[in-house]
Structure 1
Amino acid sequence: MIYARFAAAVDELKNYGGVPSPQESQLIWDDIWHREAHNSTAIEGNTLVLRKVRTLLDENRPVGGKDLKDYMEVLGYAEAARWVYSQARVVNGTAPGSTPLGKLVSVAEIRNVHQLTMQRVWAVAPHPHASPDEQSDAFRRHDIRPFSGGMVPPPWVDVSPQLATWVDTANSNGSAIIAGKLEPSEIPIALAEMHSLFERIHPFIDGNGRTGRLVLNLILVRLGFPPAIIFKSSRNRYLTALDRADKGDLGPLAELLARSVIDNLNRLIVPNIAGPARLVLLKSLATPELSYQALRQAASRGRLDVSYSSDGTVRSSKLAVDAFLDSKYSR
């Protein structure tokens, strides 16, 4: 059962001091950053493939002759995601940002996330129906047509009070989670309910999906979890899960979020707690003294014992890396 696996992951996380900070595991956080910026924008129709997203973000160099709008969407999302990741809780009960314990999010922060996400793309491709009062940090002043599944967002005049209530609920849930009043197995349902309700409020004229996923990740990292990534390949499943959540069934969305968090826990935590012989992602074994590129080169030359999975993922172990270093320095 996925909720039991999530609860077990939470217990493991507590036992080992929480998620390492972006400074402690920069390569893994960068990999999550690339994947989130690619997949979250791709869900909304962005055409850049992951390889081009990496080049754009790492080298600030657009490749591929795509529409400028596509590049600006990724850059804006990536900037917002960097800020979100900077809020990761790295010490039990505290966060590096100014948000107090249990206060996971504010209305001002939601508006800031939306501004970071949308201001670049709207500078080159403004929303065709946005009024001067509907800029990248302002709530919509239009009513939204019913969605295909039948959900009707609230009238625009109700957005501000409903979002304020949503923030109060999110912070209340955060306090309950941090205080241990919510069972770990119940957390995915709470996360799904928060995300679903945010999307139903639909506070902005555009960019609600991207902003909603980033705000969800802001909540996750301030709780001490890694961010969740909804992959482009799961787009239809994700949209169906949101539709079912609108109708009162939170299970599919909660399962999707739980699996994503567990996957990124394995990226961030398992390499730090694995026994010396346990296979982990090769990238997670990189250090400031031994780069990922050096590990890949050693593997390609047969000097580092690695395992290749069917999807091309490369894994190795601390034991294998130690053996490589011993052979390297004994020569």
Structure 2
Amino acid sequence: MTPVWDIDPHPEATDREGPGNFREHDIHPFAEGMTPPSWTLVAGEIQGWADVVCELGRKLEAKDDIGHPLPEELAKIHNSFERIHPFIDGNGRTGRLVLNLILVRLGYPPIIVFKRQRESYLTALRRADAGDCGALGELIARAMEDNLNRFIVPNVAGPARLVPLAALVDEEFSIHALRQAAQRGRLNAVQGPGWRVEIFPQVGRCVPGVSAQTQQAAESQLRRRLPKRAVGSLSRVLNWRQRHSAESRPVRCGADSFSL
């Protein structure tokens, strides 16, 4: 924030309200109705918020029941920070960075909120303001899964992600049909000394044309390579998403992240 602030500081900021300092102004109510606390309460509110985060870490470390699915608890924490609005500017960016710090400290993958998710993200925050953290939890869970699939799994899975095309042959799919599907791009396959098919275009999903036994064997190899925390987080995120899939709509992601 400092380079940006040096060029274009907030017009209402005092010398004591630069990057890293709490605001000393009250924030006008937002159009949606949320009113941040008075600036005199910010330090105490942030301390209380930090205590809640630390308590969540202790419960997870002790494997205690946290009372809600983890993504919803993370959504509640993120929304609480945004409701405090501790800085005069940059609260959205800071809140998302702090959320990622919490995720990494807890052993989970960081998340990215993309530009095309802006409206979905803001709508989910407004619903969380009213006490419903489900939509924001869903967005966080999807982002965690996406980053697992996009960055973490490919870097640790290695050859466990690939099986010979012949391993997929069964009564329904002949080797000829599978080879044609690979050549036409209908299977996520690569050609080397013979075709090999990628089992994990999305981890934890059923892959058409792949027998359950074959996929389970490949998943078992992958999970042996993943850190225990990553396997646990992957399972929890996928299980939570499966329970909520009937209530949620797909979130389309763009190429660029955005700032508030």
Q: TM-score, normalised by structure 1?
A: 0.49
Q: Measure, in 2, the Cα distance between the counterparts of 1:170 and 1:254.
A: 16
Q: Residue in 1 aligned with 2:239?
A: none
For residues 276 and 233 of structure 1, do their structure 2 counterparts lie closer, same or farther at Cα, with a shift above 3 Å needed?
closer
Question: Structure 1 residue 210 and structure 2 residue 93: aligned?
Answer: yes
TM-superposition CA deviations, 1:77-104 (whole Å, max 9, x none): xxxxxxxxxxxxxxxxxxxxxxxxxxxx
Distance 1:307 1:261 in 2: 31
Which of 118, 122, 132 is the matching residue for 1:235? 118
CA distance in 2, matches of 1:322, 1:237: 45
Q: Secondary structure at the match of 1:147?
A: coil
CA–CA distance in structure 1, aligned partners of residues 161 and 140 of structure 2: 30
Root-mean-square deviation (Å)? 2.7
- Equivalent residue number for residue 148 of structure 2: 265
Q: Which amino acid in structure 1 is aligned with residue 157 of structure 2?
A: I
**Aligned partners of 1:146 and 1:223: how far apart in 2?**
33
Aligned to 1:249: 132
- Residue 277 in structure 1 maps to residue 185 in structure 2: no
Question: For 1:166 and 1:234, how far apart are their aligned partners in 2?
Answer: 26
Residues 36 and 84 in structure 2, CA contact (< 8 A), matched pair in contact too? yes
Q: 1:308 Cα deviation (Å)?
A: 6.5
Once residues 251 and 190 of structure 1 are traced to their aligned partners in structure 2, the CA distance between those partners, rounded to angstroms, is 9
Structure 2 residue aligned with 1:38: none
Aligned to 2:8: 125
- The residue that corresponds to 2:80 in the other structure is 197
Instruction: Quote how far apart the aligned CAs of 1:200 are.
Output: 0.1
Secondary structure of residue in 1 paired with 2:16: coil
Q: Is the 8 A contact 2:56 2:66 kept in 1?
A: no
Deviation at 1:276, TM superposition (A): 4.4
- The answer (yes or no) to whether the contact 2:59–2:66 under 8 Å persists in 1 is no
> Contact (CA 8 Å) 1:307, 1:316: kept in 2 or not?
no
Task: Name 1:157's counterpart in structure 2.
Answer: 40
Partner of 2:29: 146
- CA 1:184 to 1:220, structure 2 compared with 1: closer, same or farther past 3 Å? farther
Q: What's the counterpart of residue 50 of structure 2? A: 167
Of the candidates 53, 61, 64, which is equivalent to residue 178 of structure 1?
61
Cα pair distance change 1:321/1:215, threshold 3 Å: farther
Paired AA for residue 142 in structure 2: R
Residues of 2 paired with 1:321 and 1:267: CA distance?
Answer: 23
2-side partners of 1:119 and 1:307: how far apart?
51
Q: What does residue 60 of structure 1 align with? A: none
**CA displacement 1:33-61 (0-9 Å, x = unmatched):** xxxxxxxxxxxxxxxxxxxxxxxxxxxxx
Larger Rg: 2
> How many angstroms apart in 1 are the aligned matches of 2:69 and 2:39?
32
Q: What is the 5 A alignment of 1:319-330?
A: 320=191
Contact 1:139-1:160 at 8 Å conserved across structures: yes
Identity of aligned residues (%): 49
**Residues 127 and 268 (structure 1), Cα distance of their counterparts in 2 relative to 1, 3 Å cut:** same
TM (norm. structure 2) is 0.61
Unaligned 5+ residue runs, structure 1? Answer: 1-117, 280-304, 310-314, 325-331
Counterparts in 2 of 1:140 and 1:316: CA distance versus 1, 3 Å: farther
1:76-87 mapped onto 2 (5 Å cutoff):
none
Instruction: Specify every segment of 5 or more residues in structure 2 that has no aligned partner in the other structure, as ranges.
Output: 165-181, 196-260
Residues 1:250 and 1:125: Cα distance change in structure 2 (over 3 Å): same
Number of paired residues? 175
